[in-house]
């Protein structure tokens, strides 16, 4: 049964708990593509329990047609990945270069998320891809067979890094390999670095010189990729500690030298008075002081942390300026508008000025009860959940949306002493 609304209230005392986080969705989804391209030579352990990962795995591990939820009348299988943006980008590259004849579609919001940059690149490589509805957007039809036409591809760096990653993941499987030229500044660079590190772990060599990444055609090595817990999921616990009077939370198996760009949350939250202690078993985060030091945050390399950091600043009454948020408008929802709408409920304004976003907390107040809309966006639900430490009754609409990346989030909050009903 679908839960329409969940109400959170804060613990009566300080927070002290251990939280076992699911595997990284970002690492898991990359590893699944490598497993499929290598025909099982690359083994994946500690896979994420996120719905996005389950959808991608199901799409890859079934024969074309057996995962068809519908047909377009021509008999072609139609694979519906729902709201899973990573699956849409990664599967597009996989189906294109493996010559898998299918139609790939998603939710109504997914049909509004642009795909032309990736599709143009795949067509330039030699894939036959066409739009079945609106030009530039899913659904996509992939034709049987693939003959490489070009080795050199140019793609803008200030768009979603998932386009770049999708191409890099399949590069070694192309008859001629690929030379990918990144034009302009690279957004979400750590995600590209993660992709290349995982390719190397799977036996794929590459050269990255200046704006160009070159990967020759080569075979995968027999290898095991063990997925680290999700630093994106950890970010919500950092926010909880930052907004608490007293808290100490253990997050096992997180690494200091992580592949995940969102591990930067440990440095960001130093400015919020949160200390991170790295041990052989993982990390412990605890509250040290309450004074926020920074008033400018560049989140270009970690845009998935934006909602967490912005809401934490707002709830702390801390005016700040943010940049690097260009990709937020094409995510599960327009995250800028969603943040503006929901922050207004506590009297905070997020003001857009070209590529800068200013947080004005002069009107901050905490009503006894408010309800947060999630806009079918998992990160909206989890980024605003820590407000339960400031608002007596915090309602969250469509709470099950967290299943996209962190299915046990509400249960973990209850283990930490929050009341959810």
CA distance 10 to 13: 9
Q: Which two tokens stand for residue 118?
A: 């990736």
Q: Which spans in 244-365 are helix H?
A: 265-268, 306-315, 335-343
Q: Which two tokens stand for residue 279?
A: 């041990």
Residue in the structure block whose two tokens are 């995982």? 198
CA distance to 241, 271, 287, 315, 340, per residue, from 246 (Å): 7, 16, 6, 16, 29
- Choosing from 52, 230, 262, 304, the catalytic residue is 304
In DSSP terms, 178 is beta-bridged to 215
CA distance 256 to 273: 19
Q: Report DSSP state, residue 293.
A: -
Helix, strand, coil percentages for the chain (3-state, nearest 5) = 35, 25, 40
CA distance 213 to 223: 23
What are the backbone dihedrals phi and psi of residue 123, each rounded to the nearest 5 degrees, phi first?
-65, -40
**Crossing angle of the two packed helices 51-60 and 25-37, in degrees rounded to 10:** 10
C-alpha gyration radius of the chain: 22
CA distance 167 to 214: 11
CA distance 234 to 231: 5
Residue in the structure block whose two tokens are 């309800």? 371
Among candidates 311, 296, 312, which has minimal Cα distance to 355?
A: 296
Q: Which two tokens stand for residue 380?
A: 């909206």
CA distance to 47, 178, 228, 230, 326, per residue, from 260 (Å): 15, 24, 9, 8, 20
> Can 334 be counted among the known catalytic residues?
no
Q: Which two tokens stand for residue 361?
A: 């907390």
Residue 356's contacts (CB-CB under 8 Å, 6 or more residues apart) are 321, 322, 323
Among candidates 23, 414, 20, which has minimal Cα distance to 251?
A: 20
Catalytic residue IDs: 304
């Amino acid at each position: 049964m679908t839960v329409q609304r969940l109400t959170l209230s804060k613990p009566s005392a300080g927070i002290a708990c251990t939280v076992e986080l699911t595997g990284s969705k970002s690492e898991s989804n990359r590893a699944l593509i490598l497993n499929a391209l290598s025909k099982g030579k690359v083994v994946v352990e500690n896979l994420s329990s996120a719905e996005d990962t389950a959808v991608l795995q199901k799409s890859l591990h079934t024969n074309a047609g057996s995962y068809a939820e519908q047909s377009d009348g021509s008999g072609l299988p139609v694979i519906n990945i729902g709201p899973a943006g990573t699956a849409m980008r990664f599967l597009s590259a996989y189906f294109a270069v493996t010559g898998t004849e299918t139609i790939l579609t998603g939710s109504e919001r997914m049909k509004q998320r642009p795909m032309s940059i990736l599709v143009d690149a795949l067509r330039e490589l030699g894939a036959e891809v066409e739009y079945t509805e609106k030009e530039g957007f899913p659904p996509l039809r992939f034709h049987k067979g693939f003959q490489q036409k070009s080795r050199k591809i140019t793609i803008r760096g200030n768009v979603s890094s998932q386009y770049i990653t999708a191409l890099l993941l399949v590069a070694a499987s192309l008859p001629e390999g690929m030379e990918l030229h990144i034009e302009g500044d690279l957004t979400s660079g750590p995600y590209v670095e993660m992709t290349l590190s995982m390719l190397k772990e799977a036996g794929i060599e590459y050269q990255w010189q200046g704006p160009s990444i070159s990967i020759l055609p080569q075979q995968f090595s027999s290898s095991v990729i063990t997925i680290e817990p999700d630093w994106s999921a950890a970010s919500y616990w950092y926010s909880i500690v930052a907004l608490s009077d007293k808290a100490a939370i253990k997050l096992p198996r997180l690494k200091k030298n992580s592949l995940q760009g969102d591990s930067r949350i440990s440095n960001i939250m130093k400015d919020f008075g949160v200390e991170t202690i790295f041990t052989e078993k993982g990390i412990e985060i605890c509250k040290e002081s309450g004074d926020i030091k920074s008033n400018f945050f560049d989140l270009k390399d970690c845009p998935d942390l934006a909602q967490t950091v912005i809401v934490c600043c707002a709830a702390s009454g801390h005016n700040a300026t943010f940049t690097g948020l260009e990709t937020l408008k094409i995510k599960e929802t327009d995250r800028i508008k969603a943040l503006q709408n929901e922050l207004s409920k506590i009297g905070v304004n997020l003001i857009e000025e070209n590529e800068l976003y200013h947080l004005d907390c002069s009107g901050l107040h905490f009503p006894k009860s408010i309800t947060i809309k999630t806009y079918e966006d998992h990160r909206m639900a989890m980024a605003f959940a820590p407000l339960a430490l400031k608002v007596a009754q915090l309602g969250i609409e469509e709470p099950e949306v967290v299943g996209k990346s962190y299915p046990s989030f509400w249960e973990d909050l209850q283990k930490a002493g929050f009341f959810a009903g």
